Structure 1
């Protein structure tokens, strides 16, 4: 099956059908009532020994609705992990605001502790996320103990493991991480996030370290949790094929900015930004030759003037965008709106170019 066609096919063995293909999936929320919202978010890291500051996140608007899965896509170094951690309060923003359920995020220790009961992080490497000296029971119960859970701890741990697909849960209570498969360890990490009954999870490359045969199972689990619990998710990934299989909306990030956003169908079946087209071109199912990006890799300490992608843009290099070349090199593009309406930060596209190719 081709992840670039709207038939709900999987891009890799065992992957589930697209989220939007299920009639049981809840409808996307109104953009006016996001669960999580970032406005003008910037995260800057000071340079060492006189080096310029790194603008890892350089003005981002992003909304996530209740019961919605948003995929944040981009190559390594684009700022997507820093953005995700800033949304969770793990990296305080240099400027801009984050709101959750309509309330601005406060960065006091007490407020962040309360927030992290409602918004949980799932990391890429389950082996690194789990203490090898802790049993599965202790790993899942850790959040309950930190937050002083007043109820039946054993029942809560068992329910979380069961929801994560580890059944019967009692079978796993006394096992250690080294006794589990990679997929089982990732399920334990997910159970540790679920045990606090959050409204949002942020999954940073949640299947990147797993075998292809296990990835589909974890993606199917995330979809089931969305359908059963109304759970929202931000899935951080470099894999547009994964985005096709799981997301309702896609935000493509390059050098600290969102450069294209929209529904997963609109972005992946009709990519507009040259960067999105380049990312899609390297998927095995794509037609034609892969787009090889030229120029230097992104450097958040040396963001170019104008469109920040222009030095590597295959459309500009080919001469197709000659009519807007001066603007590409010298005129900054506006920050895209956070609601996820179809939008592209590209002078060439905004000047009226039509992109009908799948690449």
Structure 2
């Protein structure tokens, strides 16, 4: 029997009302997604596709318009008490560590903030030291009195991760966790996330636009386009044999790719004006090349929305 996922979303929607009479924007549009215990899932896609909104809805920071989020086999409660208890078990790691840390707080105060808010029977100093050590800042006492401006970018990101670890969570949601770091430091932070999974059984949802990052860290990959998951599956399957033309286009521009680069024309459509048919069809290289016509699905691509992807596979008429 397959174990129940640690985190799940079913039919999740987040719709933002339009301003000054504009139509509402469907930032997240019917998403099903799971993260298993001890699993790292990469959520990838272009900027503006809804990744960060989805991540925040999964954490209870954005209220879904429809659908359900569950954790540990139970639907997520919406009361302040239920959300506070949940956020101890599921922690957010932001992209910019400089923005996430209060410049007036020492490292000790930054890491101790979570335990102080949520309470706990453990010794605070020991909890802070253990969290810093697990995040790779050793000896931890050396960093207690430092301020963020005295640290490198990589060290600041480790402090942010330590602040999450101080609550002993089961899940990290990391939104572009290495995007603001130098290339030489990115590998260290990714290796840290893998070590935390292996040593602590920690699960992670890593939000990124970088498929190379997903290749290095993820057990599974979910590809998002215009509010929907359009392809999902084991990382090796999605990244070596992609089925959706959007995934193929994203992979083709990686430096190590053997495929000719696919230049996507135009920007992703406005989520308040989602086109009819497949929402990717106006930018689809398979449709433009005539392959969809030869396969007999071009008409469906232009007029029929593919079914919402549930589980693994690709939401694409051609695939």
TM-score, normalisation: structure 2: 0.98
In structure 2, the partner of 1:344 is 314
Whether 1:227 aligns to 2:198 is yes
- Equivalenced residues, count: 317
Superposed CA RMSD in Å reads 0.9
Q: Distance in 1 between matches of 2:267 and 2:241?
A: 27
Deviation at 1:31, TM superposition (A): 4.9
Aligned mate of 1:254, from 217, 225, 228:
225
Asked whether the equivalents of residues 31 and 63 of structure 1 are also in contact (C-alpha less than 8 Å), the reply is no
Q: Distance in 2 between matches of 1:302 and 1:295?
A: 15
Q: Distance in 1 between matches of 2:304 and 2:37?
A: 36
- Superimposed CA distance per residue, residues 64-113 of structure 1 (whole angstroms, 9 cap, x where no aligned partner): 10000000000000001000000000001000000100111011111100
Deviation at 1:332, TM superposition (A): 1.4
Q: Distance in 2 between matches of 1:198 and 1:75?
A: 29
Aligned mate of 1:308, from 269, 279, 287:
279
- Superimposed CA distance per residue, residues 144-200 of structure 1 (whole angstroms, 9 cap, x where no aligned partner): 110122320000000000000000000000000000000000000000000000000
Deviation at 1:297, TM superposition (A): 2.5
Aligned mate of 2:91, from 120, 124, 149:
120
Asked whether the equivalents of residues 220 and 232 of structure 2 are also in contact (C-alpha less than 8 Å), the reply is yes
Deviation at 1:53, TM superposition (A): 0.4
In structure 2, the partner of 1:205 is 176
SS in structure 1 at match of 2:168: coil
Q: Distance in 2 between matches of 1:66 and 1:283?
A: 30
Asked whether the equivalents of residues 77 and 298 of structure 1 are also in contact (C-alpha less than 8 Å), the reply is no
Deviation at 1:326, TM superposition (A): 1.0
Asked whether the equivalents of residues 78 and 298 of structure 1 are also in contact (C-alpha less than 8 Å), the reply is no
Q: Distance in 2 between matches of 1:32 and 1:195?
A: 27
In structure 2, the partner of 1:81 is 52
Deviation at 1:32, TM superposition (A): 4.7
Deviation at 1:336, TM superposition (A): 1.2
Q: How does 1:210-359 map to 2 (within 5 A)?
A: 210-322=181-293, 323-338=296-311, 341=312, 343-349=313-319
Q: Distance in 1 between matches of 2:269 and 2:138?
A: 45
Asked whether the equivalents of residues 124 and 209 of structure 1 are also in contact (C-alpha less than 8 Å), the reply is yes
Unaligned runs of 5+ in 2: none
Deviation at 1:337, TM superposition (A): 1.4
In structure 2, the partner of 1:38 is 9
Q: Distance in 1 between matches of 2:39 and 2:310?
A: 17
Q: Mean alpha-carbon deviation: is it higher for 239-248 or for 141-150?
A: 141-150
Q: Distance in 1 between matches of 2:180 and 2:44?
A: 17
Q: Distance in 2 between matches of 1:93 and 1:31?
A: 27
In structure 2, the partner of 1:154 is 125
Q: Distance in 2 between matches of 1:65 and 1:305?
A: 34
Q: Distance in 2 between matches of 1:313 and 1:105?
A: 37
Q: Distance in 2 between matches of 1:32 and 1:52?
A: 41
In structure 2, the partner of 1:3 is none
Stretches of 4+ moved more than 2 A in 1?
295-298
Aligned mate of 2:35, from 64, 68, 81:
64
Change in 2 beyond 3 A, CA 1:218/1:262: same
Asked whether the equivalents of residues 336 and 345 of structure 1 are also in contact (C-alpha less than 8 Å), the reply is yes
Whether 1:176 aligns to 2:184 is no
Q: Distance in 1 between matches of 2:21 and 2:3?
A: 43
In structure 2, the partner of 1:193 is 164
Whether 1:166 aligns to 2:137 is yes
